[in-house]
Amino acid sequence: MRRIFKTHYNQDIDLFRDGIDRNIYCGLLVILLLLPLSVGSFWLGEISYALILSITSVGLMLLTGFAGQVSIGHGAFVGIGAYANAVLLTSGLPLPLSIIGAVVISTLVGALLGYPALRLSGLYLAMATLAFTFIVEHVFVHWESMTGGFGGMSVPAGVILNYSIMEGVSFYYLCLLSAVGALLLARNILRSPTGRAFVSIRDSEVAAQSMGVNLASKKTTAFALSAGFAGLSGALLAHRIGSLAPDAFGVLLSIQLLLMVVVGGLGSLHGAIFGAIFVSMLPQIIAVFRDTLPDSLAQQPGLEPGLFGAILVAFVLFEPAGINGRWQKVKAYFAHFPMHRKATFRRQKNFTKSERFR
C-alpha cells in the first residue's frame, strides 16, 4: 500500500497526487501517442470514437456527477455542436475556427437553457432537458435551409494547412488532443473553487448558499461548461459520421450519454472515461455476444437496445458506483492483499429517505 507523506499544501492542489501517479498518466499518454504505429485503421477509428465520447462524458460528469443536475438532453448539445461545425465549415470557415465556433455556440445555448432551468430541480429539470431534446430535434428536421432536414447534411472535409484531417491517423490525433485538453480543463475546474461549489450544490443547496455559493451563477456555469464539452465532441463526431441526420441526436443519444456516466461511476473523472470507453465498445461487445446466441434470438431487431437497458439495470442494481467503483474495490483488494475485509464495501441497509419536501 502506498502512503503519501505530505509536506506542502501544493501536494493537495497539484494535478497529480505524487510522482508515481504522474508517471502512470504520462506513460498512458505516450502509449496513446504511439498507438497509430501499431494499431490498424479500424481500431484507430474505434479509439477515436471512444475519445470523442469521453469529451461529452467528462462534460456530463461535471454537470450530473459533480453539480448534481440531471440532464436527459445532452444529445441535443452534441447535435448542436455537430450541425454548427458543419454549417460553419460549409460557409467557408477554416477547421479550427469552425470547431471553436461550434463550442461557443453550444456553450451559449447551454447557458440559455441553464439560466431558466436553474429554478428547476430534480425531476422537473430532467423533464425540461428532455423536452429540450425533442424541440432541438424538431428544429434540426424543419430548419431545412440550414440543416438539410431528413435529407441529411454532408460534413465538408476538414482541412488544416492543406492537410486533410479526415484521414485516420490525423483525425485520431485531433481527437486525442481535444480529449486530453478537455480532461485537463475539467480537472482544473474540479480542483479550484468552482469545482468545489459544484459539489456543494450537489450535496446541499441550502448550505452551499449560506457559504456564499451563488446557486444561479454556478448552475448556469455548469450547464454552459458541459454543453460546451458536448459541443466539442459533437463537432468531432460530425467528421466521424460524415453525414448528419437529425434522428442521430435524439433522446436515444441523450440516454446513451447518461448511461455512460452512470455505468462509469458518478462523481469521478475516471468514471467518465471508463463509461465512454464502455459505451463506445458496446456495439463490439454486443456483436461478440450475438455470436454466442442462437440465431433465432441473435437476429432479433430489439436485441441491441434491450441489452443496453439490461446493462443499465444490472449496474444500478449490483454496482451503483459504476465501473470506477469496481476499479476502486479491486485496487483496495490488492492494496490490502492478505488482509482484505469482505465487509469494507458492503452497502449499508437503507430506508427510503423522502426527497419530497413536506
Provide the minimum distance between the beta carbon of 285 and other proteins in the complex, in angstroms, as a whole number.
Answer: 16
Provide the minimum distance between the beta carbon of 248 and other proteins in the complex, in angstroms, as a whole number.
Answer: 17
Of 143, 142, 169, 139, nearest to 42 (Cα)?
A: 169
Provide the minimum distance between the beta carbon of 123 and other proteins in the complex, in angstroms, as a whole number.
Answer: 6
Of 86, 23, 99, nearest to 55 (Cα)?
A: 99
DSSP 200-235: HHHH-HHHHHHTT--HHHHHHHHHHHHHHHHHHHHH
DSSP 257-272: HHHHHHHH-TT-HHHH
Provide the minimum distance between the beta carbon of 53 and other proteins in the complex, in angstroms, as a whole number.
Answer: 18
Provide the minimum distance between the beta carbon of 167 and other proteins in the complex, in angstroms, as a whole number.
Answer: 31
**Residue 137 contacts residue 80 (beta carbons within 8 Å):** no
The residue (of 73 and 234) whose beta carbon lies closer to other proteins is 73
Cα distances (Å, whole numbers) of residue 317 to 19, 98, 222, 328: 37, 43, 28, 18
The residue (of 207 and 287) whose beta carbon lies closer to other proteins is 207
The residue (of 281 and 307) whose beta carbon lies closer to other proteins is 307
Provide the minimum distance between the beta carbon of 309 and other proteins in the complex, in angstroms, as a whole number.
Answer: 3
Provide the minimum distance between the beta carbon of 348 and other proteins in the complex, in angstroms, as a whole number.
Answer: 9
Cβ partners under 8 Å of residue 136, min gap 6 = 73, 76, 79, 80, 249
The residue (of 185 and 281) whose beta carbon lies closer to other proteins is 185
**Residue 222 contacts residue 114 (beta carbons within 8 Å):** yes
The residue (of 89 and 126) whose beta carbon lies closer to other proteins is 126
**Residue 207 contacts residue 80 (beta carbons within 8 Å):** no
The residue (of 62 and 238) whose beta carbon lies closer to other proteins is 62
The total number of residues shown for the chain amounts to 358
The residue (of 235 and 260) whose beta carbon lies closer to other proteins is 260
